[in-house]
Structure 1
Amino acid sequence: MPLKDKIVVITGASSGIGKAAAIEFAKKGAKLAIISRRKEKLEELQKSLAQFSTEVLVCPCDVSDKESVKKMSDAVLEKFGKIDILVNNAGFAIYGTVANLTIEQIESQMQTNYFGMIYCTKNFLPILQQQNSGHIVNVASVAASFGLPGIAPYCASKFAMLGFSEGLKHELRGTKIGVTVVSPIMVRTNFFDHESFAKMPKYSPTSLDPKTVANAIIRASESSRLEIIVPGIVRIGVWLKHTIPFVINPIMGAAFRKLQK
């Protein structure tokens, strides 16, 4: 699908995967609505995208706030009249055991990572249905398939995203609206900037460049698949986890407990 002049909405666009995705879509001539809480970061990105001579709408928005999302979606539709691709990318993690995290810290992750995706999807789905075209790309994580110690609430939010996406994809069967989840392994972004990760190793040698995931998002926007795992070889691990969990789960648990220590 040619992306020139397609309308693409990207949440969490001020940094990391979202910023990289905005750049890659802009290179292909797409028109963008870039969404984040940090207006100044969005404006910096807007300036850097000027080189691609495409339209860019800056929309400051906290996706965890349903009223903020409604205002944002209204602004996008007033500007462009439609959308073609929704990239639900906003998300974060707080490191800590369930025993030590507060209820508010757990709720905040689910509110942004999962409900933020719900709010955006619910606000843009009617126009996609009216058009009978478009694609929803939900950026999850390999943590959508593995429950990991220290980030259990984050994993829960990504499990939820994957399950919701699968159900929605079934509901939209027979339409021209696609739903695809992009699930990367560790990515070199500001994900670990939260103070809770201060004593944790930041990145492994296998961690991905955000551009790699951005290109996977572009592939996802025209894919019929439910989930694209990045890199693809990790799908073997996911398959093994679901096929022989009694072998894989103890190995994964032991590895991450060792990392915690």
Structure 2
Amino acid sequence: MNYNKKVVVITGASSGIGEQSAEKFAQLHAIVILVSRNEEKLQQISSRLSKYQTTILVYACDISKKDQVDKMAKFVIEKFGSVDVLVNNAGFGIYDTVEKIKVEEMESQMSTNFFGMMYCIKAFLPKMLEKRSGHIVNVASVAGSVGIPGMASYCASKFAMLGFSESLYHELKGTGVGITVVSPIMVRTNFFDHVSFGKMPRYSSTSLDPKTVANAIIKASSSPRLEIVVPQFVRFVIWLKQTLPYIINPIIGGIFRRSLKSKI
């Protein structure tokens, strides 16, 4: 796909996967709209990406707030008419048991990770359908297919994202608009900086560089597939879990329960 002058909106663009994805699209001379709550950080990234001689715009927005998303989308649509690629990347996790986590913390994860995605899709999809082109990339996680002790709310938000995306994937057949989910394993970003992760080891030997996930997002933005798992071999683990749950679930559960106990 030729991304020159294509309009790309990226949420959660102030760090990690979102920041790296913005740079990849900028390198391809796309028009990139950086969306995040942290305007100062977005401005810094915008200045850094200016070397690619393409249009970079900054819009401070809390995507968990529908009114803010609507204003952001209105600004983008009035300026460009529509978007070619929407990357729903914003999200965060809190590590704690269902017994101990606050209801407000559970709600906040769903509000950003799931409802924020939904607000953005609802805001941009009509114009995509009108012009019969465009692609939505939802950044989920392998935690959207595997329940992890201590991450129930986060997993719920990503399970919801995957189910929503699959339903929408079928609805969009023949419209010219596509949707693809990118589901990575652990990524080396500030995701684990949240105080709830305590002294847990931040990364494993299999954790990914955010640039790797950004490359998958570029691929996903013109892919006919519903889901791209990163790295690809993890899809086999998901398949095993879904096919032989009575064998795989005890193994996965045991591994993560030990990690949870080490936190406590």
Q: TM-score range by the shorter chain?
A: over 0.9
Q: Post-superposition shift, 1:205?
A: 1.0
Structure 2 partner of 1:109 = 109
Q: Post-superposition shift, 1:14?
A: 0.3
> What is the letter of the counterpart of residue 257 of structure 1?
R
**1:73 and 1:124 in contact (8 A); partners too:** yes
| Residue 180, structure 1, aligned to residue 180, structure 2 | yes
Please tell me the root mean square deviation across aligned C-alpha atoms, in Å: 0.6
Q: Post-superposition shift, 1:201?
A: 1.1
Q: Helix, strand or coil for the counterpart of 1:196?
A: helix
> What is the letter of the counterpart of residue 142 of structure 1?
V
Structure 1 partner of 2:79 = 79
Within a 5 Å distance, the mapping from 1:64-103 to structure 2 comes to: 64-103=64-103
Cα distance in structure 2, aligned partners of 1:116 and 1:259: 30
Cα distance in structure 1, aligned partners of 2:100 and 2:67: 31
Cα distance in structure 1, aligned partners of 2:191 and 2:150: 14
Q: Post-superposition shift, 1:246?
A: 0.5
Cα distance in structure 1, aligned partners of 2:14 and 2:66: 20
Taking structure 1 as the reference length, the TM-score comes to: 0.99
Cα distance in structure 1, aligned partners of 2:66 and 2:211: 29
Partner deviation per Cα, 1:91-122 (whole Å, 9 max, x = no partner) = 00011000000110000000000000000000
Question: Unpaired runs of 5+ in structure 1?
Answer: none
Cα distance in structure 2, aligned partners of 1:20 and 1:78: 27
Structure 1 partner of 2:152 = 152
> What is the letter of the counterpart of residue 147 of structure 1?
G
Structure 2 partner of 1:220 = 220
| Residue 17, structure 1, aligned to residue 17, structure 2 | yes
> What is the letter of the counterpart of residue 107 of structure 2?
E
**1:144 and 1:159 in contact (8 A); partners too:** yes
> What is the letter of the counterpart of residue 165 of structure 2?
S
Q: Helix, strand or coil for the counterpart of 1:160?
A: helix
Q: Helix, strand or coil for the counterpart of 1:219?
A: helix
> What is the letter of the counterpart of residue 244 of structure 1?
L
> What is the letter of the counterpart of residue 94 of structure 2?
I
Within a 5 Å distance, the mapping from 1:173-252 to structure 2 comes to: 173-252=173-252
Identity among equivalent pairs (%): 61
Cα distance in structure 2, aligned partners of 1:103 and 1:258: 24
Q: Post-superposition shift, 1:199?
A: 2.2
**1:8 and 1:85 in contact (8 A); partners too:** yes
How many residue pairs end up in the alignment?
261
| Residue 169, structure 1, aligned to residue 160, structure 2 | no
Structure 2 partner of 1:131 = 131
Partner deviation per Cα, 1:185-226 (whole Å, 9 max, x = no partner) = 000000011111122110001100000000000000010000
Dislocated runs of 4+, deviation >3 Å: none
Q: Helix, strand or coil for the counterpart of 2:98?
A: coil
> What is the letter of the counterpart of residue 54 of structure 2?
T
Cα distance in structure 2, aligned partners of 1:196 and 1:214: 26
> What is the letter of the counterpart of residue 121 of structure 1?
I
Q: Helix, strand or coil for the counterpart of 2:178?
A: strand
Partner deviation per Cα, 1:164-198 (whole Å, 9 max, x = no partner) = 00000111111110000000000000001111112
Q: Post-superposition shift, 1:258?
A: 1.2
Cα distance in structure 1, aligned partners of 2:94 and 2:67: 25
Partner deviation per Cα, 1:203-255 (whole Å, 9 max, x = no partner) = 00110000000000000001000000000000000000110000000000000
Q: Helix, strand or coil for the counterpart of 1:229?
A: strand
Structure 2 partner of 1:40 = 40
Q: Helix, strand or coil for the counterpart of 2:181?
A: strand
Question: Unpaired runs of 5+ in structure 2?
Answer: none
Cα distance in structure 2, aligned partners of 1:186 and 1:57: 29
Q: Helix, strand or coil for the counterpart of 2:33?
A: strand
**1:57 and 1:76 in contact (8 A); partners too:** no
